[in-house]
Every structure is written in C-alpha cells, then in structure tokens.
C-alpha cells in the first residue's frame, strides 16, 4: 500500500480540519470528483440538496405548557429512486448535520447498489428528558409537518440516533391516518407486527461485523481472537459487539455516552448487554476497568469501531490511534484531515458509507416486502444482506488496490459515479 495517490489528491484539494459535517461531506465529494474527472456542472448539482425543509411546531408537554420544537428533513438526491434516510432526535442536531447525513445516504445507497437516493431528518430535542406521551405528540406533529415530503414512492424515513421502531410506528400511523388507509411502506425500521422486516433491528451492527471480517481477511488478521474496541453501545454498537463476540473475536473495550469499560482479556458481552438493558448504561458492570471515550479510541487493538457520533477521530488524536483496522459504525466519525493521517500511518479504514450500510440494505428489503405484502424469513434477510455487503466491499477494495487509493475515496468513486450516471442519463428537466 502506498500513499502517493492520496497525497496527490489532497494536495489538489486542500485539507482543513473542520467539525462541520456538511463541509466535510463536500470535501469528500470534491476528492472523488477529481479522481473521476467529474463534469463541473454535475459536481455542482451533487453538492446541493434537492429539497430541504425546516419546521417549527408546537407540542403540549405533560405539565400543561406548550413548547415550540424545530425539525428538519433534507432530500439530497433522487436520481436513482426515492430518497431514504433516518430521523434523529438530538439536542445538538442542526441543518448542516442533516444535509451531510442526507448526502452520505445518497452515496451509501449507491455503493451497495440499491435504488434509493439520500435523505435525513432531525428534531432538535432531548428525548432523555421527555415522557413517552411527549415523544409521541412530538413525533406525530413532526410527521405531519414533513408529510408533504415523505411517502413510499418519494421519501422513506427510518430510525437513527435516539429514535426506534416505536417512533417509526407513530410516523406510519400518522401518515396513514392522513391518507385514510394503512401505508406500511412509508417508513422502515418499524415493528414486525405492522410490516417491519425480520432482521432489521440487527442489520447495521451485523453488517459492521461482516465488513470487519472482510477487512480482517484482507489484512491477514484471523477474526477468531482478534481484539476489538467499540465506541458507542446503542443499537449499532451493542449488536456489533454481540456479532463480534459470536464470531470469536475478543471485545476488549466498549463505551456509551456515560463512559466505558476495558478488559484486555476480553469483556463478557452477553452480561454487558443485560447490564445495559437493565441499568441504561454499561458502566455499572463490574467486569472491566473504567475508561473514557477519548482513552478508548487510542487503545491498541486489531479493530476499532467508532459507532457513536461524528468527529471522534480528528487531527487532535489521529496520531495516537493504535488500531490496525477502523470500521466506521457511526456516520462521519473521522474528519478528512484525520483520514490523511491515518492512511499515511498505514491504518486501514473502511468508511461509514460502506461499513454501516447494512441498515439501509435491510431497510430496502423491508420496503420491498411492504410493497409486495410478502414477507421473508430472517435467515433469508440475513443471507441477502451479507451477499450485498460482501459484493460491495469487494468492489470498493478492488478499486482501492488497483488505483492505490484509500477505501473512502474508492467507495465514493463508485457511489458518486453511479449517481452522476443516473442524473446524466435522466437529463435536466425541463
């Protein structure tokens, strides 16, 4: 592996550390566009979301007061099909974050070659301090506000940070009430009882382990006994931890928003899952030493999985990362400037747009099942997902090796080219 091609690319596209996710997304697009020699007009089209909406809406709280909340929905590109992307509830979300996430969803869908464009949504709130009743009222009102954009043939939401199958059920029901008939295909990631897919909840975490196995095999690292560190123990990180554990890997450190645990001999993942479910945090478990999220990222290990939030690996800590492989479970956990440092140091990184695409793959399966009203067994879902993930990985790895590129640039070249080709073939209306 050499660094010459990447160095030339970054000389042509100046690297500047930024924690603005949309700036980083645009920078990543620019690198791919230069490698593809993309038409400047098409590059300009792909830089901007096709549609975005900001909504301000009232919600009555349990104490009788009314509060105004702000929400967003952004559709980045629809050239390859209806837009697809999650909805997050976070006190830190903003429009630039949602724009970046929507763009990343466009590339992600194209890289695994499913007929979706990218979208994302968010509501500025702290769900941890809200009751179930307040969350339901907030969700239904937000769904009503964005109902002018979403639909099974236009834009299909899914769970993301701090949202779950119940939130998707409320959105589906709200949309269906407005339409006067049940429309299960309007969202994915909903409960199986109302049209959800078997295997959807586990899909992103399971997909991370599949991609990690491919990367480890390429790097000559046996998965059995490989040391794994995971930042983030929500739906993605916890299921990834279980999947690694089941594959014989040694998960030596994990963390949630409160803190983490480290045991160089390996953590008891089933016990940690039980503890996290029972106590709402894994830090009460006694099977390891306390460790901060910052310290966790710098532990020596074979595989590091940042599965929390964006901007976790930056120029401030990239020189101290000791993992041999990084599998990005979260969206945007590594800044472009840190990418260059990691590549120069020989650390093999599989980007988010490939590594965590298992969720959108099975979301696609759920959408297809809803439209057909014909549902698959979990074994079939898992088999089809693994086939698509492995095929996508091999395509990206082949380009990276042939062109001496980092995996992110190789993945973007595939995704951006597929979207650009679709947009060119369709033409510009009118």
Q: Which residues are catalytic?
A: 120
User: Which two three-digit tokens encode residue 313?
Assistant: 């690996």
For the residues of 112-154, what is the DSSP string, one character each? Answer: TT-S-EEEEEEEE--GGGS-HHHHHHHHHHHHHHHTTT-BTTT
Count CA within 13 A, CB hemisphere, residue 149: 25
Number of Cβ atoms within 10 Å of the Cβ of 402: 9
In this structure, which long-range contacts are made by residues 250-255, counting pairs with CB atoms below 8 Å and at least 24 apart in sequence? 250/225, 250/226, 252/227, 252/228, 252/299, 252/301, 253/229, 253/288, 253/291, 253/296, 253/299, 253/301, 254/229, 254/230, 254/282, 254/296, 255/230, 255/231, 255/282, 255/291, 255/292, 255/293, 255/296, 255/308
Please state, in angstroms and rounded to a whole number, the distance separating the CA atoms of residues 213 and 388. 14
What's the gap between Cα 303 and its chain centre?
18
User: Which two three-digit tokens encode residue 182?
Assistant: 């049940």
Number of Cβ atoms within 10 Å of the Cβ of 264: 14
Between strands 51-60 and 301-306, the pairing is unpaired
Length of the chain: 430
End-to-end, the C-alpha distance of the chain in Å comes to 46
Beta carbons of 296 and 323 less than 8 angstroms apart: no
Between strands 250-255 and 260-262, the pairing is antiparallel
Number of Cβ atoms within 10 Å of the Cβ of 314: 16
Three-state DSSP at 203 gives helix
The runs of H, that is alpha helices, within 254-292 are 269-279
């Amino acid at each position: 592996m050499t660094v010459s091609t990447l160095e030339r690319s970054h000389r042509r596209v100046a690297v500047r550390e930024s924690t603005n996710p949309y700036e980083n997304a645009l920078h990543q697009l620019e690198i791919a566009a230069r490698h593809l020699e993309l038409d400047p007009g098409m590059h300009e089209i792909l830089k901007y979301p096709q549609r975005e909406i900001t909504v301000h809406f009232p919600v009555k709280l349990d104490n009788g007061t009314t509060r105004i909340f702000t929400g967003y929905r952004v559709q980045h590109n629809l050239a390859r099909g209806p837009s697809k992307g999650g909805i997050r509830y976070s006190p830190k979300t903003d429009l630039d974050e949602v724009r970046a996430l929507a763009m990343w969803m466009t590339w992600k869908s194209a890289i695994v070659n499913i007929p979706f464009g990218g979208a994302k949504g968010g509501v500025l709130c702290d769900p941890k301090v809200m009751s179930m009743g307040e969350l339901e009222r907030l969700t239904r009102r937000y769904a009503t506000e964005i109902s002018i954009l979403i639909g099974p043939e236009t834009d299909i939401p899914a769970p993301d940070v701090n949202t779950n199958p119940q939130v998707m059920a409320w959105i589906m029901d709200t949309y269906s009430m407005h339409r006067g008939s049940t429309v299960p295909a309007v969202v994915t990631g909903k409960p199986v009882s109302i049209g959800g897919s078997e295997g959807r909840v586990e899909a992103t975490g399971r997909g991370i382990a599949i991609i990690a196995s491919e990367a480890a095999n390429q790097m000559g690292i046996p998965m059995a006994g490989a040391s794994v560190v995971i930042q983030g123990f929500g739906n993605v990180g916890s299921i990834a931890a279980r999947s690694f554990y089941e594959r014989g890997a040694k998960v030596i450190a994990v963390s949630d928003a409160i803190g983490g645990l480290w045991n160089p001999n390996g953590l008891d993942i089933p016990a940690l899952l039980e503890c996290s479910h029972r106590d709402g945090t894994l830090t009460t478990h006694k099977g390891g030493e306390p460790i901060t999220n910052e310290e966790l990222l710098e532990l020596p290990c074979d595989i590091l999985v940042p599965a929390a939030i964006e901007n976790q690996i930056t120029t401030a800590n990239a020189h101290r990362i000791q993992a041999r492989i990084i599998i990005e479970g979260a969206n945007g956990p590594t800044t472009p400037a840190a990418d260059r440092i990691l590549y120069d140091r020989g650390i093999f990184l599989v980007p988010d747009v490939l590594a965590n695409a298992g969720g959108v793959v099975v979301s696609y399966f759920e959408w297809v099942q809803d439209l057909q009203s014909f549902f698959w067994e979990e074994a079939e879902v898992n088999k089809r997902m693994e086939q698509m993930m492995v095929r996508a990985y091999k395509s990206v790895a082949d380009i990276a090796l042939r062109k001496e590129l980092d995996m992110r640039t190789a993945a973007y070249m595939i995704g951006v080219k597929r979207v650009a080709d679709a947009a060119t073939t369709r033409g510009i209306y009118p």
